[in-house]
């Protein structure tokens, strides 16, 4: 299949932070997703093959909860009932479904990760990516040696080779990290799924600028699903509302949604055109001009955020802020004083 419809399905996020029964709230969110995907598939027709859901659409995000509290309240088990139900949605409509959720891992029983999972038309997980850049949530980089021992580097930077092309995920603010998108593109990624929850504006916000840059730099499509509002916590509900979009490999917005729950951000992705673009010599073929040897050596010279910070177990929220301050000090020292 070289052309198909991709949908960034904009849905309201209902936070479970104060829910009396958070598991029931998560189950209700799965039911809403089933209903909205069913309606979207009927509206857009059989060409719909990829649906990307917003960031943490099942639960919202932790506020002041400890690792243990959020694991209990909001984290899913890989292969658990929620993923099985989501897999059934993908199978029922014969499409790939990308969902972002917090999840547990038996190898790291005191932690949780923010995962993006792509479920196939067979209802199976064909990609599981754990977010690598997060301010307050544990990441594989925080338990780096053990994580790589368990999952290998392919488990850290996965690309799913499917009948609709090579799929990868950039989670939320990770679209601002050019190295991650470039690494995934070098591994073959053609379509970046981008579950996000962000401020939307008529002006180009940082993530919107970054989506276009990542598409151009890597000759890749970006399917970006934002929240259609946020409820259940004190943050104003329209702070993360609207702007879901589909970007082509030349940085053009093929479709963009307004505010509220919406299926407007849907467009056809032409893989033949993308692959032709990637194989055409010239100044515009940026991916072929990357000097990997140069940048590998240069990056190794700089002492940025260090791996393994949670190898000894959970830390409180203040530790993450302190780590960032220490990293800034190492990178910049006394500059500007």
Looking up residue 286, the CATH number of its domain turns out to be: 3.60.110.10
Residues 228 and 307 in one domain: no
Residues 79 and 12 in one domain: yes
Tokens standing for 90?
């993908």
Select from 92, 88, 86, 82 the least CA-distant residue to 25: 82
Residues in contact with 86: Cβ distance below 8 Å, sequence separation at least 6, in sequence order = 30, 33, 97, 99, 117, 119
Q: Report pLDDT for 212.
A: 98
pLDDT > 50? residue 337: no
CA angle, 148 then 182 then 254, to 5°: 125
E strand or H helix that includes residue 125: strand 125-130
Residues 155 and 225 in one domain: yes
Residues 151 and 215 in one domain: yes
Residues 176 and 316 in one domain: no
Three-state DSSP class for residue 46: coil
Q: Report pLDDT for 1.
A: 73
Mean pLDDT score, 285-302: 94
Does residue 28 contact residue 232 with C-beta atoms inside 8 Å?
no
Final residue before a domain boundary, out of 275, 290, 305: 290
Residues 270 and 310 in one domain: no
Does residue 265 contact residue 7 with C-beta atoms inside 8 Å?
yes
Beta bridge partners of 97: 51, 119
Alpha carbons 265 and 193: distance in angstroms, whole number: 13
pLDDT band for 222, please (50, 70, 90 cuts).
very high
Final residue before a domain boundary, out of 253, 274, 290: 290
Residues 241 and 133 in one domain: yes
Residues 212 and 192 in one domain: yes
pLDDT tens-place string over residues 152-190: 999 999 999 999 999 999 999 999 999 999 999 999 999
Residues 303 and 285 in one domain: no
Residues 307 and 263 in one domain: no
- Count how many domains the chain has: 2
Q: Report pLDDT for 335.
A: 62
Residues 42 and 115 in one domain: yes
Alpha carbons 222 and 138: distance in angstroms, whole number: 25
Q: Report pLDDT for 186.
A: 97
Does residue 131 contact residue 139 with C-beta atoms inside 8 Å?
yes
Domain that holds residue 311: 293-336
Residues 212 and 320 in one domain: no
pLDDT band for 201, please (50, 70, 90 cuts).
confident
């Amino acid at each position: 299949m070289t052309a198909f419809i991709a949908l960034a399905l904009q849905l309201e996020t209902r936070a479970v932070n104060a829910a009396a029964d958070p598991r029931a709230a998560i189950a209700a969110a799965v039911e809403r997703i089933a209903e909205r995907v069913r309606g979207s598939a009927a509206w857009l027709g059989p060409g719909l093959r990829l649906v990307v859901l917003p960031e943490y659409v099942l639960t919202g995000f932790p506020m002041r909860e400890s690792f243990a509290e959020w694991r209990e309240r909001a984290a899913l088990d890989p292969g658990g009932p929620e993923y099985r139900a989501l897999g059934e949605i993908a199978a029922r409509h014969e499409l790939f479904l990308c969902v972002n959720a917090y999840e547990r891992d038996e190898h790291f029983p005191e932690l949780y990760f923010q995962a993006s999972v792509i479920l196939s038309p067979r209802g199976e997980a064909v990609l599981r990516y754990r977010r690598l850049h997060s301010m307050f949530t544990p990441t594989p980089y925080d338990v780096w040696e053990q994580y790589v021992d368990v999952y290998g580097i392919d488990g850290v930077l996965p690309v799913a080779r499917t009948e609709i092309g090579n799929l990868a995920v950039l989670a939320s603010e990770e679209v601002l990290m050019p190295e991650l998108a470039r690494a995934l593109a070098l591994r073959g990624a053609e379509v970046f799924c981008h579950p996000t929850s962000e401020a939307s504006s008529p002006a180009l916000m940082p993530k919107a600028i970054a989506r276009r840059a990542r598409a151009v730099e890597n000759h890749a499509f970006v399917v970006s699903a934002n929240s259609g509002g946020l409820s259940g916590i004190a943050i104003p509900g329209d702070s993360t509302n609207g702007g879901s979009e589909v970007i082509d490999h030349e940085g053009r917005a093929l479709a963009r949604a307004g505010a509220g729950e919406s299926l407007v951000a849907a467009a056809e992705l032409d893989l033949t055109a993308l692959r032709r673009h990637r194989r055409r010599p010239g100044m515009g073929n940026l991916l072929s001009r990357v000097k990997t040897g140069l940048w590998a050596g240069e990056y190794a010279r700089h002492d940025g955020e260090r791996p393994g910070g949670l190898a000894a177990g959970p830390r409180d929220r203040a530790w993450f802020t302190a780590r960032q301050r220490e990293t800034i000090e190492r990178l910049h020292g006394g500059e500007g004083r």
